[in-house]
Structure 1
Amino acid sequence: MTEQRQAKESTFYTSDKQELFYRHWPAITSGTIRKVIVLFHRGHEHSGRLQHIVDELNMPDTDFYAWDARGHGHSPGPRGYSPSLARSVQDVDEFMHFVAADSQTPLSNIIVIAQSVGAVLAATWAHDYAPKIRGLVLASPAFKVKLYVPFARPLLSFGQYVKGLFFVNSYVKGKYLTHDPERVNSFNNDPLITRAIAVNILLDLYRTADRVIEDAAAITLPTQLLISGQDYVVHRQPQLDFYQRIRNPLKEMHILPGFYHDTLGELNREEAFTKIRSFIDTLYQQPVAAFNYQHEDRWSPSADNWRELSGGPVPLSFSAFSYRALHKGMTTLGKLSNGIKLGCETGFDSGSTLDYVYQNQPQGQNWLGKQFDKAYLNSIGWRGIRQRKINLEYMIKQAVSKLQEENLPVRVVDIAAGHGRYVIEALSNINVVEEILLRDYSELNVSKGQQMIADYGLSNKARFEIGDAFNQEQLAALTPQPTLGIVSGLYELFPDNSLLRNSLNGLAAAIPAGGILIYTNQPWHPQLKTIAWSLTSHRQGQPWIMRNRSQGEMDALVSAAGFDKCAQIIDEWGIFSVSMAIRRAS
Structure 2
Amino acid sequence: MFLKRFKKIENPKKSFVIIHGLGEHSGRYKFLIDKLLDIDYQVITFDLPGHGLGEGKRGYIKDFYKIYEYIKEITPEKFILFGHSMGGLIALRYTEYSDKKPEKLILSSPAVGKLYAPAQKLLLNTIGIFGKLTINNGIDPKDLCHDDKAIKEYLEDPLVHNKIAFKTAKQLFSEAELALLEAENIDLPVLLQYGEIDKVISVENCNELAEKVRTVVLQKHKYAKHEIFNEPKYKNKYVSNILEFIEN
Structure 1 length-normalised TM:
0.40
Deviation string, structure 1 residues 511-544 (Cα, Å, up to 9, x no partner): xxxxxxxxxxxxxxxxxxxxxxxxxxxxxxxxxx
Match of 2:81 in 1: 112
Of the three residues 78, 95, 112, the one matched with 2:74 is 95
Match of 1:51 in 2: 30
1:196 aligns with 2:163: yes
Of the three residues 21, 34, 52, the one matched with 2:2 is 21
1:231 aligns with 2:198: yes
Query: Shift of residue 144 of structure 1?
Result: 4.4
CA distance in 1, matches of 2:14, 2:243: 13
CA distance in 1, matches of 2:166, 2:201: 17
Query: Shift of residue 152 of structure 1?
Result: 2.2
Of the three residues 204, 210, 222, the one matched with 1:257 is 222
1:77 aligns with 2:56: yes
Tell me how many residue pairs correspond in the alignment.
Answer: 247
Match of 2:102 in 1: 133
Query: Shift of residue 91 of structure 1?
Result: 2.4
Residues 164/223 of structure 1: CA separation in 2 closer, same or farther (3 Å cut): closer
Aligned letter for 1:38?
Answer: V
Which ranges in structure 2 are unaligned for 5 or more consecutive residues? none
CA distance in 2, matches of 1:58, 1:266: 22
1:178 aligns with 2:145: yes
Match of 1:157 in 2: 125
SS in 2 for 1:151: helix
1:220·1:247 contact (CA, 8 Å) conserved in 2? yes
SS in 2 for 1:119: helix
Aligned letter for 2:128?
Answer: Q
CA distance in 2, matches of 1:145, 1:75: 28
Counting only pairs closer than 5 Å after superposition, residues 98-497 of structure 1 correspond to structure 2 as 100=76, 106-107=77-78, 110-144=79-113, 151-161=119-129, 163-248=130-215, 251-267=216-232, 268-282=234-248
SS in 1 for 2:5: strand
Share of identical aligned residues, percent? 25
CA distance in 2, matches of 1:84, 1:132: 20
CA distance in 2, matches of 1:28, 1:266: 31
CA distance in 1, matches of 2:229, 2:84: 8
Residues 223/63 of structure 1: CA separation in 2 closer, same or farther (3 Å cut): same
CA distance in 1, matches of 2:164, 2:197: 24
Query: Shift of residue 34 of structure 1?
Result: 2.3
Query: Shift of residue 252 of structure 1?
Result: 0.7
1:143·1:205 contact (CA, 8 Å) conserved in 2? no
1:27·1:60 contact (CA, 8 Å) conserved in 2? no
Query: Shift of residue 212 of structure 1?
Result: 2.1
Residues 193/144 of structure 1: CA separation in 2 closer, same or farther (3 Å cut): farther
Which ranges in structure 1 are unaligned for 5 or more consecutive residues? 1-19, 101-105, 283-586
Aligned letter for 1:25?
Answer: F
Deviation string, structure 1 residues 230-261 (Cα, Å, up to 9, x no partner): 1011111222222322244xx31111111111
CA distance in 1, matches of 2:96, 2:68: 10
CA distance in 2, matches of 1:176, 1:145: 19
1:29·1:60 contact (CA, 8 Å) conserved in 2? no
RMSD: 2.2
Pair member with larger Rg? 1
Structure 2 length-normalised TM:
0.90
SS in 2 for 1:225: strand
CA distance in 2, matches of 1:95, 1:183: 31
Query: Shift of residue 29 of structure 1?
Result: 8.7
Residues 164/170 of structure 1: CA separation in 2 closer, same or farther (3 Å cut): closer
Query: Shift of residue 150 of structure 1?
Result: 8.1
Residues 171/206 of structure 1: CA separation in 2 closer, same or farther (3 Å cut): closer
User: Segments of 4+ in structure 1 off by > 6 A?
Assistant: none
